[in-house]
Amino acid sequence: MDTNNTSRKDFLASLFTTGLVLAGCSSKKSPFELGAEEGVKATGQKVKLLSVDGEIIEVDKAFLKPVPELPSLTNSQERTGIPGKKFVMVIDLSRCKNLRKCQQACNHMHHVHSNLNWLKVYPMGEGEHTAPYWQPTTCMHCDEPPCVKVCPVDATFKRQDGIVLIDADRCIGCRFCMAACPYSIRVFNWEKPDTIPEELCGKPYSCETSMPQKVGTVGKCDFCPDMARKNELPHCVTACPNGTFFFGDLNEDSVTNGAETFRFSDLVKDKAGYQLMEDLGTKPSVYYLPPSARNFPFEKGLENETEKS
């Protein structure tokens, strides 16, 4: 059973690769013609593949080559969003102890410049007699986004599924959106990001992955719509060992942190959920559950409180 599984996976992978090879070469000569791919010598080892017509064919192994993952979505698809969805996030403040695993995962997965953070954990509650707490802050993906209102070129936009994204190929770097965002979540690539791996460098920018980040343009939390397309959770949600973040679809009225799933409306009602700076009228898609009955004392989080420098 196990071996069977592996071979099936291999088979599908090779099918994908060959498909791309064939597609890539269709405009040129056929790879099967003699001398079509100069420098490639047939190894004699054949690989069985499933052709488009459903026939099993054999191709020499030498003609198989890995093709970088191509963006499968057009810019206008990325700007439209995932049909039928309205993404929301719930952050349970009683579970956060400033571990910053969310931040690390986010920075790592998006190759964010080492000076910048898309996700920040704020120590909140400065009042004399109020209890401090840790507040993880992502982009609020507002339904009335101030950043989108002021963008002169539609480089930052609001999608049907509620997500606010940035088109770094269009951004002119005026930073008006940064001034407009009351949550200060937007960051700017003041220099070429220092953390982009080589294989990502030449790739075209995708609004859904927000990668690769480009010098002179704005970046921010994107709610990981590329993960949502794969029916997976954003990186911060899966990275948090305490299950602080819940992600889901308002239309389905459910949110999950991977381990627990709640009916969104019940969760927000029962735990008196609120939005950040509701009074500004930005209508955030992120809801906070108050830090009551906490899992950890505030002080526990101070251990991780080292400034980036």
Partner 1 sequence: MEHSNSMKLGKKTPMQPLPGNGKHGKVHLTDEQIISDLLPQKFGARGYLWIAILLVFCLVGVFAYYRQLRYGLIVTSMRDYASWGIYISNFVFFVAISLVGSLITAVLRLSGVHWATPLTRIAEIIAVAAITFAAIIIIVDMGRPERFYNLFIYGRLQSPIIWDVTVITTYFFISLLLLYIPLMPDLKIMLNGHEKKGIYKLYSFLGSFWKGTHLQFRISKKAVNILCIAIVPVAFSIHTVTSWLFATTYRPGWDSTNFGAYFISGAFLVGSGAVSVAMYVFRRYYKLENYITQEHFDKMGKIVVMLGCLYLYFNVNEYLIPAFKMKKSEEGFLNGLFIGEFAPIFWSAIFGGMIIPMIVLLFKKGRQPLPMFICGIMIVIGAWFKRYLIVTPTLLHPFLPMHNVPASYKHYFPSWEEWAIAFGSLSGALLVITIFAMLFPIIPIQETLVEQHEKELHEKAHH
Applying CB under 8 A, the residues found at the interface with partner 1 are 103, 115-117, 120-123, 137, 146, 149-155, 170-176, 178-180, 182-184, 186-192, 215-218, 277, 280, 307-309
Q: Cα-Cα-Cα-Cα dihedral of 226, 120, 190, 161, to 10°?
A: 30
Of residues 217 and 244, the one with the C-beta less far from partner 1: 217
Rounded to a whole number, what is the largest CA-CA distance in the chain?
A: 82
> Using CA atoms, how far apart are residues 158 and 143, in angstroms rounded to an integer?
8
- Of the candidates 190, 189, 208, 212, which has an alpha carbon nearest to the alpha carbon of residue 199? 212
In whole angstroms, the minimum distance from the beta carbon of 171 to partner 1 comes to 6
In whole angstroms, the minimum distance from the beta carbon of 264 to partner 1 comes to 25
Of residues 204 and 216, the one with the C-beta less far from partner 1: 216
247: which 2 tokens?
């992600």
Distances (CA, A) of 148 to 93, 116, 171, 174, 176: 28, 21, 12, 13, 10
Of residues 85 and 110, the one with the C-beta less far from partner 1: 110
Is residue 255 within 8 A of residue 275, CB to CB? The reply is: no
In whole angstroms, the minimum distance from the beta carbon of 134 to partner 1 comes to 11
In whole angstroms, the minimum distance from the beta carbon of 73 to partner 1 comes to 19
236: which 2 tokens?
């911060």
- Of the candidates 160, 158, 153, 159, which has an alpha carbon nearest to the alpha carbon of residue 175? 153
Instruction: Work out whether the CA dihedral 74, 75, 76, 81 comes out positive or negative.
Output: positive
In whole angstroms, the minimum distance from the beta carbon of 284 to partner 1 comes to 13
Of residues 7 and 115, the one with the C-beta less far from partner 1: 115
Of residues 13 and 277, the one with the C-beta less far from partner 1: 277
> Using CA atoms, how far apart are residues 165 and 208, in angstroms rounded to an integer?
7
At residue 198, φ and ψ (nearest 5 deg) are: -55, -40
Of residues 117 and 209, the one with the C-beta less far from partner 1: 117
In whole angstroms, the minimum distance from the beta carbon of 287 to partner 1 comes to 17
